[in-house]
Amino acid sequence: MFKKILIANRGEIACRIIWTCKELGIRTVAVYSEADEDALHVRFADEAIRIGPPNPRQSYLSMPAIISAAEITNVDAIHPGYGFLAENARFAEICESCNIRFVGPSPRAIRTMGDKAAARQAMIEAGVPVVPGSDGIVETAEDAQRAGDEIGYPLMLKASAGGGGRGMRIVHDSKDVAGAFETASNEALGAFGDGSMYMERYVGDARHIEIQVVADAHGNVVHLGERECSVQRRHQKLIEESPSPALTPAEREAMGSAAVAACKHIGYESLGTIEFLYDRTRKEFYFMEMNTRIQVEHPVTEMVTNADLVRAQILIAAGEPLNFTQEDVSFVGHSIECRVNAEDPRTFAPSPGKITALNMPGGPGVRVDTHAYAGYTVPPYYDSLVAKIVTYARTRERAIARMQRALEATIVEGIKTTIPLHMQILASEKFRSGDISTRFMDTFFDE
């Protein structure tokens, strides 16, 4: 087992990783920027190395700075968390070449899944359903016209190098497809240095449902059920839950099996998430993307499966076999997560600043993952997540009631947060009835 791990991240996830390392008896090294001198992850780690200025390019994204910190402190492994370098294949490669274990999948798996057209192709080969669309990359506007007229409209143009909603475009009419292709491809070239595009039929009335997988280095692959992530705004998730109110046990089983088949096909080794688009009209699901990292919303899976996903991820990276099979996994109760962001709840404009008073909720079935404390200043340089409030209860209805009372007990003064928005969503009939889709937030403020 590893003796010492460096956490190449900050905020709540750095704290979350440190908690599990402590339980495993693994020593921890924090890295931090000048903006994070007073951050909790720095306090809780056994050692802390300042790696650069606030700008993440020169600190949390700086591979030389992080590798130097790892060399100086003589760690066995680096945990990348989410964001920053978590899905950077080159970073994973550099770690391995420095004889430091990267807590994540192989560079090859990261690269395949980072190329969305290649991922789609791999899923077709694995027998996992994908949205009907182009046969690989569309090279020219003429090809886009031909493929588009075959797929039908509306359709989506997607950048191979995009993902998470970046580099996408809806085309409603045959006369627009060639022009949209040129514009989207040029935008992708500018944004990602890669203008490759592919096309899919547009699924309008959809849910975002993702499957958590764990795959060890010995060929064992197990899924831990789904997370429903349809309540999003501008591709930023607001509320996640497990199980999804939409899936029947048979659908859960089919989606889980597809996710396991996907991992086996690519020889995946680590923890990961397969995102599916669930077509509410046809009651069918399609592969969208695979995330090769621990995700923000992992706690809702931990609550209903009683797993520690960070622990599983570290043990897998150390070469340990999974000590459970698919048959051992059971799902009990319902869990909901609200992302408390330092943002204006109406405009979503960032609201960094000093937290002058803070109370986090507790009591039965309430979990809080946060790095915030009274007197902490939320810096303006990084993402705005300040806390994840997670509830757990026997039923969805009771998990919602628990979340409402938990949010009522939450006090964050000095900055604006998304809590009022969460309260409004939780009180809405649409959310309470489980009638949520990717368009939930588009219409929310109108009602």
List the catalytic residues.
293
Compare residues 240 and 289 and give the one whose CB is closer to ligand MV4.
Answer: 289
Q: Is the separation of the CB atoms in 77 and 101 below 8 Å?
A: yes
Report the length, in residues, of the chain: 447
> Cβ 288 to ligand MV4, closest distance in Å?
5
In the chain, count of helices (H) and strands (E)? 15, 20
Return residues touching ligand MV4 (CB under 6 A): 131, 156, 164-165, 200-203, 206, 208, 232, 235, 275, 277, 288-289, 438
Compare residues 161 and 277 and give the one whose CB is closer to ligand MV4.
Answer: 277
| Both tokens assigned to 351 | 């609201």
> Cβ 435 to ligand MV4, closest distance in Å?
15
> Cβ 170 to ligand MV4, closest distance in Å?
8
Measured between alpha carbons, how far is 272 from 84 in angstroms, rounded to an integer?
17
Q: Is the separation of the CB atoms in 68 and 395 below 8 Å?
A: no
Q: Is the separation of the CB atoms in 360 and 391 below 8 Å?
A: no
Compare residues 79 and 208 and give the one whose CB is closer to ligand MV4.
Answer: 208
The Cβ-side half-sphere exposure at 183, using a 13 Å CA radius, reads 10
Compare residues 73 and 438 and give the one whose CB is closer to ligand MV4.
Answer: 438
**Backbone torsion region of residue 81, taken as left when φ is above 0, otherwise alpha when ψ lies between -120 and 50, otherwise beta:** left
Q: Is the separation of the CB atoms in 206 and 438 below 8 Å?
A: yes
Measured between alpha carbons, how far is 185 from 15 in angstroms, rounded to an integer?
39
> Cβ 361 to ligand MV4, closest distance in Å?
28
> Cβ 295 to ligand MV4, closest distance in Å?
13
Compare residues 77 and 209 and give the one whose CB is closer to ligand MV4.
Answer: 209
Residues facing residue 159 across a β-bridge:
197
Specify the 3-state DSSP secondary structure of 225: strand
Residues facing residue 198 across a β-bridge:
158
Distance of CA 283 to the CA centre of its chain: 24
